[in-house]
Structure 1
Amino acid sequence: MGQRFNRNALQRRLLRWGHEFGELLYPIARKTLPYRPKMWWVPRLPIRAHRRRTPHTRPWTAPVPSPAPALRTGPGIELLPERQQEAFDEAPLHDFIRLHPEMRGVHSPTGHMWISLLSTSPRVQGAARRRARSNRSPGATAPVAALTPAELTRAMKREAARLGLSGVGVTAYDIKWNYAEYHGMAVGETVVVGIIEQNFDSTQMSPSLRAEKAALSAYAGLEDRMRLLAGWIRAQGYAARPEGFVGESMVIPYAVAAGLGQLGLNGQLLTPHAGSRCRIHVMSTDAPLVHDEPVDHGLEGVCNECQICVRRCPAGAIPARRKESRGVVKAKLNTKRCLPVMGKTAGCSVCMKVCPVQRFGLPAVLEEFERSGTILGKDTDDLEGFDWPLDGRHYGPGDRPRLPLEVFETPGFDFDPDRREPVGWVEPDGRPGNRPDDTDGDHAEALGY
């Protein structure tokens, strides 16, 4: 099945000791470091470790075979339009940080990720600031080019590939996917979706600081490339405004609508070439681009047959069945269980690591299913095994960590997953404040990035 990514006993001890060291220093870091330090000015050193974080900047061009009939479910996300509109009218979607301002406080469960955030902040914040500056004037910088919509779309996708985006797609803007705090900021009725593939080797080491740093570095690379692509669109005579990786919209529905993948049971976008081992970014534009269509790659069918992430999730936060939520039929994650575990285990990402499509690619998974009727790698330690930083143990198929109650608790943090309306902005010291605008990249720093 390819290269194995198992740690030896000493490396697992180091994984545990690293976690314990971070926990030991966390109270000190919480008091001495600002929650969102402005580190964009810190120079990035060309050290070898950065290669393990670097995203793959190769466009996805390999053909994807058609799925077997048993794996076909239909293109797009299953929606109940009347219920979706009703939910939007009752309570529009809100920015997660605005909805839960306690996430910025000193007791935030993601504060335990301070080491990975600290080391990647210069690159991520720098990319966010460059994108924010370019968005101050999102309008056209040249007369409208004499290209047909089809020609313009082909040229835009060629430029995206040249810049190093793994995939790009086009779809229609839908205010129901846009957070209420950012209504009216789109510059057109078309959305361009960009994807970059996260470093493969580092992802296989999840959960770990190395894997989390690779994820954050991928976001930084994506920010820069989408900013440059927006500049190219403006140079053709149209407006373009990238949203930023923290997001002003739910990006996964846009990516599905643009034919770039399908919604997995783990709540993430599954792409044919890299599963959910990728990062997504969107921009609005008034360019007359040809819209792509959703595609049934067979990924939902693979999820239905596989369900490895459901069994392997250490927090037990992934349901085995989809159900309706706000007019969308999906597997709704238990955020109250997922969030604190993610924050205390360097981003966790076990659900990403154990996905066969992430590891082997959809063509290999489809080929194995066609040949044997089974999911490639299922019930093997090669795919399902992971090392747990809280105890330094390796967990293979049929075994997962037993998490004590305190792992799910964060003293001083009261997270309400059923909250539907913002409760106001709170500064890190607890004082009421205003939501920072995005003119200097503060939006990207709201989560500590």
Structure 2
Amino acid sequence: MTQETVRPRGLVGRTWMRLSHEVLHRAEPVMGRLVHPARLAWLGRVPAVPASAVPRLRSPARPWTAAVPEPPAELRTQPGIGRTSAAEDEAARDRPLHHFFALHADAVAKVSGYLWPALVSVAPRLVRSTTQLIASRSEPAGRATAEDPTTLAGSLRAEAAALGISATGVTSYDPRYQFAEFPGPEVGDRVIVCILEQNYEATQRIPAERSEQAALSTYAQLQDRLVELTRWLHARGFSARAESYIGESMFIHYAVAAGLGQLGLNGQLLTPHAGSRCRINVIHTDAPLPLDEPVDFGIEGVCDRCQACVRRCPVGAIPGRRREHRGVVKAKLNTKRCLPIVTQAAGCSVCMKVCPVQAYGLPAVLEEYERSGEILGTHTDELEGYDWPLDGKHYPPGSTPKVPDEVVRPEGYAFDPDRTDPPSGYPVLGA
């Protein structure tokens, strides 16, 4: 997929980035209080310009239609992700899956205030879209239509494409991936997975407040489309319930199961057309839609040979190898080091920016690999270079910022990676 060229910042731009970042963070003790869920709610009543009118935040809102070539044999692993069902069952039984914001609520509460610039600026649009989504969770007015399942699925995908949803897949509901803080949806055994592409230019500016705003704005834009798709299902007599962007279940699990991508070393879903430069959400329904299957796009093979995210992470939070966790073979991030950087460095997300699948699309990456045996863009400044908001400097391949201890381990920050039950006294964000 051809993308627009993003002009790099010069000295003036990087200086402005550093100064604005410092000013915004100095305001955190006061403004950070606004990001508490109880205080964010009122912002839904504040007038906001639609995201479609803000080019720097606007999703392309187009379905992905370009063909993805078959990967060469040496990049193949398995469809979707490696997993051991018995171990997944055991983990779900003995260690129920908790929402991250609940399991590590004390740590999140300590550092999340630094995200206030992005949250407050997008909150009016995001809260309003969430309110509309929750209101759409009504039962269908009549009896379900007796439409052929394959025809119904085709009509659903056509409607999703008309709404500008980038990709749509269907898989079955899996209670093992329902967060313990939320009851099951109880509306059917099908999960419709919807993906919306995120603004390209804003993502290439990572790390930046603008990039974080674009991510949150894309969630709101996707929720607006889920409301319409839910109404479409209701009009045909089917029950349908969309989750909010907070997530009541593990979205990435469903996206992989529905054949929409594979897990990258950065812990994110890599879609073949945009990598992790997208947002995911799901609709639970009783519509008898045929199930999609996991796909081997060759993404794990690309990740093993690329490892740009492993090299470029400012705090070394990404392992270069996968291991089994809860029955799933994946690279498990060092969240203890990652979380403070995400919140204090404008959302960080360097691992997204430096991913060649995100920047160029998988077809271009596979084409270059077939031609040269190399991963497109690796070890180049265009792909791997980034500007660091904490010091205003540019870091090309081979160099990373020195992150102070007070940023990696802010005072009062306690993160227990082995915790299995949420701390008491910290409510999870509602959905």
TM-score range for the pair, normalised by the shorter chain length: over 0.9
Pick one of 13, 25, 39 that aligns with 2:15.
13
The code of the aligned residue for 1:124 comes to: L
Give 3-state SS (helix, strand or coil) of 2:133's partner: helix
* Cα distance between partner residues in 1 of 2:183 and 2:118: 32
Structure 2: which 5+ runs fail to align? none
Q: Report what 1:102 is aligned to.
A: 106
Tell me, yes or no, if the aligned pair for 1:4 and 1:382 is still in contact at 8 Å: no
Tell me, yes or no, if the aligned pair for 2:191 and 2:285 is still in contact at 8 Å: yes
Q: CA deviation at 1:168?
A: 0.4
Moved more, 377-386 or 401-410: 401-410
Aligned alpha-carbon RMSD (Å): 1.7
Q: Report what 2:124 is aligned to.
A: 122
Tell me, yes or no, if the aligned pair for 2:107 and 2:414 is still in contact at 8 Å: no
Shift in CA distance, 269/32, structure 1 to aligned 2, threshold 3 Å: closer
Structure 1: which 5+ runs fail to align? 427-433, 436-441, 445-449
User: How does the TM-score come out when normalised to structure 2?
Assistant: 0.95
Shift in CA distance, 284/33, structure 1 to aligned 2, threshold 3 Å: closer
Instruction: Check if 1:152 corresponds to 2:152.
Output: yes
Give 3-state SS (helix, strand or coil) of 2:54's partner: helix
Q: Report what 2:57 is aligned to.
A: 53
Identity of aligned residues (%): 52
Give 3-state SS (helix, strand or coil) of 2:81's partner: coil
The code of the aligned residue for 1:76 comes to: G
Q: Report what 1:194 is aligned to.
A: 194
Instruction: Check if 1:37 corresponds to 2:40.
Output: yes
Tell me, yes or no, if the aligned pair for 2:136 and 2:227 is still in contact at 8 Å: yes
* Cα distance between partner residues in 2 of 1:34 and 1:280: 23
Give 3-state SS (helix, strand or coil) of 1:181's partner: coil
The code of the aligned residue for 1:197 comes to: E
Q: Report what 1:207 is aligned to.
A: 207
Tell me, yes or no, if the aligned pair for 2:169 and 2:194 is still in contact at 8 Å: yes
Shift in CA distance, 204/26, structure 1 to aligned 2, threshold 3 Å: same
Q: Output one character per residue of 1:113-147: Cα deviation in whole Å (capped at 9) or x when no partner.
A: 10111100000010001011112x2x222321121
* Cα distance between partner residues in 2 of 1:34 and 1:144: 41
The code of the aligned residue for 2:182 comes to: Y
Q: Report what 2:136 is aligned to.
A: 134
Q: Output one character per residue of 1:216-260: Cα deviation in whole Å (capped at 9) or x when no partner.
A: 110000111112111111111110111111101111111011010
Q: Report what 1:438 is aligned to.
A: none
1:378-393 equivalence runs, <5 A: 378-393=378-393
Give 3-state SS (helix, strand or coil) of 2:291's partner: coil
Give 3-state SS (helix, strand or coil) of 2:218's partner: helix
Moved more, 117-126 or 2-11: 2-11
Q: CA deviation at 1:280?
A: 0.3
Instruction: Check if 1:80 corresponds to 2:67.
Output: no
* Cα distance between partner residues in 2 of 1:424 and 1:47: 37
Instruction: Check if 1:359 corresponds to 2:346.
Output: no
Give 3-state SS (helix, strand or coil) of 1:295's partner: coil
Tell me, yes or no, if the aligned pair for 2:56 and 2:201 is still in contact at 8 Å: yes
* Cα distance between partner residues in 2 of 1:53 and 1:92: 36
Tell me, yes or no, if the aligned pair for 2:21 and 2:389 is still in contact at 8 Å: yes
Q: Report what 2:30 is aligned to.
A: 28
1:2-401 equivalence runs, <5 A: 3-30=5-32, 36-38=39-41, 39-45=43-49, 50-102=54-106, 105=109, 108-135=110-137, 137=138, 139-401=139-401
* Cα distance between partner residues in 2 of 1:307 and 1:186: 41
Tell me, yes or no, if the aligned pair for 1:170 and 1:192 is still in contact at 8 Å: yes
Shift in CA distance, 155/31, structure 1 to aligned 2, threshold 3 Å: closer
Instruction: List 4+ stretches of structure 1 deviating above 4 A.
Output: 31-35, 46-49
Q: CA deviation at 1:33?
A: 7.2
Tell me, yes or no, if the aligned pair for 2:312 and 2:351 is still in contact at 8 Å: yes
Tell me, yes or no, if the aligned pair for 2:129 and 2:220 is still in contact at 8 Å: yes
* Cα distance between partner residues in 2 of 1:314 and 1:337: 10
Q: Report what 1:447 is aligned to.
A: none
Tell me, yes or no, if the aligned pair for 2:198 and 2:218 is still in contact at 8 Å: yes
The code of the aligned residue for 1:93 comes to: L
Shift in CA distance, 31/60, structure 1 to aligned 2, threshold 3 Å: closer
Give 3-state SS (helix, strand or coil) of 1:15's partner: helix
The code of the aligned residue for 2:288 comes to: P
Q: CA deviation at 1:296?
A: 0.7
